[in-house]
Structure 1
């Protein structure tokens, strides 16, 4: 390639800088979206991996129904070459002074595992200091550094503390609880933990440890969530169970021996009495009976059950990984839209460029330049646009999209900020796709012209032949059209490639905007449907047992009270291979006939109402999807401290937040072998008022036996704050799609004007005004935009459905509908972009040099 030829190539780039920049911008958008979103999932996983390593998150945990002793830790010490362990002592309390269920845990002297991450303040150094889970600050904003924290629970629990008043010196996050809100289940209060509190050792009066955390050394350098990690951890868990298997019998014998020692004085007393008095003496008879009863209790001491858990049982741990995989799945479909549109636009643009430079190609071939040299101009032109667009796209996409999306998920998880990483495989793939879009399309377009003789190239290409339209056969319609409208329709069908490219390009952009707005609708509808259409109660009252007369009077005393439903409420877990463990609320109404007044159980699609049956349970739709069960199938559920029970599914009801299982009292007795204890009430208020609702809750909590009051207004505000962050993701889709739509419309309109500049100059010479010349083009664009909008509605509906199936979390189901206004907004934005482009084209057409355009090319 000569220096002069290279200058000519650079001059062509500068001459057609608008076209060059449009190709570059399309490549930039596609590459930024592809590399950025593709990097988001790995970046989020890497952030979690680094966090788990730094905080030394345990790989396994062991608990026992009777606590863990030094004998258990002695067994683990024998395997110190394979693991590190740490004993933890904690107590779950129902805070009667603030209506919260709190786990108070003693911090070990040295945090070998599950090291706390200090969010603000510091860790406790003195016996009167305490640090709180950061979730405590969200639930109780008045809690601040330096303020006093008091533990006020039942008398029995209060006696388990050496001190109950503390000074708050810090707020922390534990690596065990990745999720921002959930802290797991408990058998205290309402059944779920609100937050955790950490105190110095020797604060609790417990003689045994509550849990032993274990970290196996062979997993130290293995990335979590991988198949290798899961395989090794299965083997580790099996070893752990084998090592501790003999401990249950030893613990039973130890407890029985201790109990027998306590009985020794009584046994000695009975033996002495037998020697001193007749066997029928009342004192001896009574003492003997007491001894036999006590011995029976000793013999009835059962073996403790050892419970083994892994990281997967920690709230949010598995779900976080699933969310990253959802992002990865989304990173495939959206960039495909961008790439497909970019390829179409590049094909149209390069086709036009080849046609414009046809005369130059003929001249160069006539001067003896080879086909390679002649085609190199187009290859350099397209390759340069691809390289610059890819470079800028990678820099922007990798640094912006992961940070933006991770920030949206940041409100859902307690993890530090991500570190940007460049995934070179994805970058190379993006570059290859960009080069295919530009160089590939250039080669496709050049294949005919490079085979042509110089004499053929030096002649202007014959204009595209017109043809009779099928609309012309509809004579009644065709005769009523004006001349301008007939010309518009003829031009539309004359340039079929441009028609197809424009319609597909606009349809793709329209689809992405509809998907974005539709996602916003689906998220927004959750709150209104769940709290207004499905749930018709304002508070959940949790008691320690069956309702007493005093509790009933207290429940109905305040003026705010309207009605209530008594029910059995408990937390159950559902566990199945391949699906993260789910927690569901088990509800058994005392009077099933009144349930419909408080909860609507219906089919989401048909609206058919469901009622509790004697033999079968009603579960939520999302739970059924997760475990792939249908009506008539069975599902295992497990109450805390009990074996799993299988329930038959009688109906699957509409629900969007969390999971539920409803059983009738008779079916509960059939499944669990005992009558339900009605420990809760769903309460309806006469009206809603935050101050009065809080006063009502405080009144109830003063009554002995009432453990917790959950106000639905508070739950609504707390749970749906996290959904606001999803609007950021929606904003990305809409802005990116809008930017692409603007570029597509500008590029195609610019090509259309360039192709027909002689035609437009001719009608200007004939006396058409500037506005009429612009409308000559705009009418075609408007029709093509309309066709693209119509096709985009169908594509957008499909894309929205795909996103919902991909982006849903395990405890959440999006509302599947798209509001009509979302279609309207997307269409109006697309039309607005079309108008913006026409304003830009109008300015260009006003300054067209008609004489230059009409000069002969012969």
Structure 2
């Protein structure tokens, strides 16, 4: 009966202090929601992407060769362990009238890989039918419309009927379609036509799926490791194939040339025989004309002249054909070995961008939620500690009545467990099912995925459970252990109030003497209860810091492009040339464009850094033709200070220097594209935010490489160009047949902006949740403050203070807490933002620390607003204090 009554009393405690109980639940809920939700977001997004590409049977590997792919290649690919191989055709088609570039694929019912998702219409059934990219609908294409492709060398038909629009797992991004080597340099959309339309036996691509990576997370480390092994085995199997393919190409070409050559030689022999006959006939006519000239001889001579003319014409044609054959033989002799390229899923347009989004979320999740979590746990710990301390008299009474320590503790265990369990369960449920879906919805317009499949991650839930059980139950038990060791008589006595002391402000007479009585009391109370002040300031500062960090993250992430393009990269386009190009033809097109103001030739190469214990890193080596002019195109900076490209030594960008712990003056080993090494001296380390670069002068390059400088690209400076003008310039340059691609900085800026926009939603989620936490923390701390000081507040009411004056009594203290909390929060927010950005920065992206005034206004403004709302609610509570009950003696 005794225990039953005490249990009822325990449950009543929850009801009587429901404000505090709900506040604890909400703090734990918010902390768990953000921690578990954000920790689960990256894995859930990646898992959903993996399930999508697995369902559509996206190829793990694509094999492409510059010499095309034959049956022998397919048979060789079939020998790759765990491989399922399919072949297909793909080509670029440029419609110059519409200024569009289409990537055309073959479609066959038998093929299982890269399955299309039909969004409208159906798949092709007839030879004259075509299905287009869903993106083509935005360009105005409609069902049953005739779509023309003028590729007589590769397709048997020109006109096709549009029967559908689809999505392809090869393109998970809704906008990006990759680059092309024709037209304007970028693909506008893709299309599929039946495979029977392609006239060549030589295929364009081999699609390979590996059974040993099925059901593995496509963005996971296990998948990457297994795929690296698969690619390595593939390269081993195809190691001799380029040379074999070269022999095949030469053999096939020689088979075609040999009959042509034999025919030309035979015809030349016939012409020589005919020429001899004509010469003899001519001699006979000349002899006859000398003895007896007549009109018949004149006619015969005219006929011989006509035959001679015809023979000469035939001879010229045959000699021209012979020259062409000789030219073909020379080209065949000089033909380079075909290259085989092995591209994984990460190389598909938009695929890596989605993975980077998840990585950034995961990086932010390692810091922001943990700090949020810490503040929530700290406030929970404080609340539970104060609750037990408030019940000293009750604990003493129960001890005097004979209750055991365990029985007394039950009440607080029930209270703490109830609050923690409700908060953790609700937080885990809401966080897991809400945040990943919300973040996906905020970025879903960029990707083709149908949705996310939420699942629970055990580790963050267990971590949240342990932390909040310690913060709630642990806090209660720690105080109980201390209190229960006291004797009942001691517990029944109220704690002696802390003695008043002179505070530092009192020593500043000019200020102290001008303060009102109420202000003096408030400031004495602040310093009298230092622990309460410190806890309040820490709680408010933590929440303010979280809001500063939230908005600061948005500002910093959005500033990557602003810091890179303009302050560092100051050119508008890069023109990449083919091998041994006609420089004059390219320069002519560039010079004739009215928008181009200047250009600079450079040599760009992809090089690699290697170090034991560090992943290999690729970076772009840029060597300008003119070192002095280079500073007009790229501004090299260190800590904001600009410097020229040194004549001796290299400049490496900051991220690579940090990863490999490099310093000025050190020797560095570089691996080129052929894995040949050369050593350079680091002259400077430059600021950089996007990509990784190595800059060196033409003279230093020739010195360290003992090779001639060969320019393979141009940097273009121009007036502001429209998208149409950029496409026209790219098209003109590609039409020279000397250019591989033209890359515009405007496209990179737009891509970067879109990529960073995906994080905006996440940042605002942080800000909103931080604001909610700040509100609950302020409410909870104020509630504790009032509960602990009921007798004090009742006393001043009895002394004649009006309700407004009593509220002001508390408000002054809260104002100081809030003001100090905001100031400390600003400083803490800067540190927190910097730490998160360091964690979120990746191998190719460095985030600058940029916190605009808006971040401080949002943080400070919301904190002050919440403080005002809490004080309004407190005012109404203070008005209803029962002075008689509150002033009753503890004895």
Asked if residue 264 in structure 1 is aligned to residue 297 in structure 2, the reply is no
**Closer, same or farther: CA 274–669 of 1 in aligned 2, 3 Å:** farther
Asked if residue 59 in structure 1 is aligned to residue 56 in structure 2, the reply is no
* Counterpart contact for 2:548–2:826, Cα < 8 Å: yes
Q: Aligned residue for 1:112?
A: 112
**Closer, same or farther: CA 811–110 of 1 in aligned 2, 3 Å:** farther
- TM-score where L is the length of structure 2: 0.82
CA distance in 2, matches of 1:575, 1:104: 37
SS at match of 2:756: helix
- Mean Cα deviation higher: 782-791 or 545-554: 545-554
**Closer, same or farther: CA 633–483 of 1 in aligned 2, 3 Å:** farther
Asked if residue 735 in structure 1 is aligned to residue 768 in structure 2, the reply is yes
CA distance in 2, matches of 1:191, 1:615: 36
- Mean Cα deviation higher: 826-835 or 464-473: 464-473
Q: Aligned residue for 2:38?
A: 37
Larger Rg computed on CA atoms:
2
Among 531, 534, 537, the alignment partner of 1:497 is 531
Q: How does 1:682-721 map to 2 (within 5 A)?
A: 682-685=716-719, 694=724, 698=728, 701=731, 705=736, 716-717=749-750, 719-721=752-754
Unaligned ranges ≥5, structure 2: 277-311
CA deviations 1:596-650 (Å, max 9, x no partner) are 44x3413162231444x55666665556667776666455565xxx878879576
Q: Aligned residue for 1:513?
A: 547
Displacement, 1:433? Answer: 2.2
Displacement, 1:661? Answer: 6.4
Displacement, 1:419? Answer: 0.7
CA distance in 2, matches of 1:330, 1:681: 36
Unaligned ranges ≥5, structure 1: none
CA deviations 1:326-377 (Å, max 9, x no partner) are 4334333233223322332223222332233222222222222111111211
- Mean Cα deviation higher: 172-181 or 290-299: 290-299
* Counterpart contact for 2:367–2:836, Cα < 8 Å: no
* Counterpart contact for 1:610–1:651, Cα < 8 Å: no
**Closer, same or farther: CA 263–791 of 1 in aligned 2, 3 Å:** same
Among 393, 399, 403, the alignment partner of 2:437 is 403
Displacement, 1:50? Answer: 0.9
Q: Aligned residue for 2:869?
A: 836
Displacement, 1:505? Answer: 0.9
Displacement, 1:206? Answer: 4.0
CA distance in 1, matches of 2:651, 2:156: 46
Q: How does 1:237-386 map to 2 (within 5 A)?
A: 237-265=231-259, 266=261, 298-317=332-351, 320-386=354-420
Asked if residue 851 in structure 1 is aligned to residue 851 in structure 2, the reply is no
Q: How does 1:94-493 map to 2 (within 5 A)?
A: 94-99=94-99, 101-134=101-134, 141-143=139-141, 149=147, 159-163=153-157, 166-179=160-173, 183-184=177-178, 187-188=181-182, 193=187, 195-265=189-259, 266=261, 298-317=332-351, 320-474=354-508, 478-493=512-527
- Mean Cα deviation higher: 459-468 or 829-838: 459-468
* Counterpart contact for 1:27–1:393, Cα < 8 Å: yes
Q: Aligned residue for 1:16?
A: 17
SS at match of 2:537: helix
Q: Aligned residue for 2:7?
A: 6
* Counterpart contact for 1:541–1:683, Cα < 8 Å: no
Displacement, 1:239? Answer: 3.5
Among 808, 820, 823, the alignment partner of 1:787 is 820
CA distance in 1, matches of 2:446, 2:842: 11
* Counterpart contact for 1:92–1:103, Cα < 8 Å: yes
* Counterpart contact for 1:135–1:180, Cα < 8 Å: yes
Among 768, 771, 778, the alignment partner of 2:804 is 771
Q: Aligned residue for 1:89?
A: 89
Among 849, 852, 858, the alignment partner of 1:816 is 849
CA distance in 1, matches of 2:319, 2:490: 126
* Counterpart contact for 1:645–1:672, Cα < 8 Å: no
Q: Aligned residue for 1:601?
A: 635
**Closer, same or farther: CA 146–31 of 1 in aligned 2, 3 Å:** farther
- Mean Cα deviation higher: 117-126 or 284-293: 284-293
- Mean Cα deviation higher: 61-70 or 244-253: 244-253
CA distance in 2, matches of 1:406, 1:305: 40
CA deviations 1:804-858 (Å, max 9, x no partner) are 2233455544332212342233122212211211111111112222222112222
CA distance in 2, matches of 1:129, 1:673: 53
CA distance in 1, matches of 2:834, 2:814: 29
* Counterpart contact for 1:319–1:580, Cα < 8 Å: no
Q: Aligned residue for 1:47?
A: 48
* Counterpart contact for 2:357–2:758, Cα < 8 Å: no
Displacement, 1:323? Answer: 4.0
SS at match of 2:889: coil
* Counterpart contact for 1:191–1:571, Cα < 8 Å: no
**Closer, same or farther: CA 643–295 of 1 in aligned 2, 3 Å:** farther
**Closer, same or farther: CA 188–645 of 1 in aligned 2, 3 Å:** farther
CA distance in 1, matches of 2:725, 2:327: 48
- TM-score where L is the length of structure 1: 0.85
CA distance in 2, matches of 1:146, 1:672: 61
SS at match of 2:432: helix
CA deviations 1:67-124 (Å, max 9, x no partner) are 1101121234456x84210112212345534555543222234332222334454433
CA distance in 2, matches of 1:606, 1:831: 36
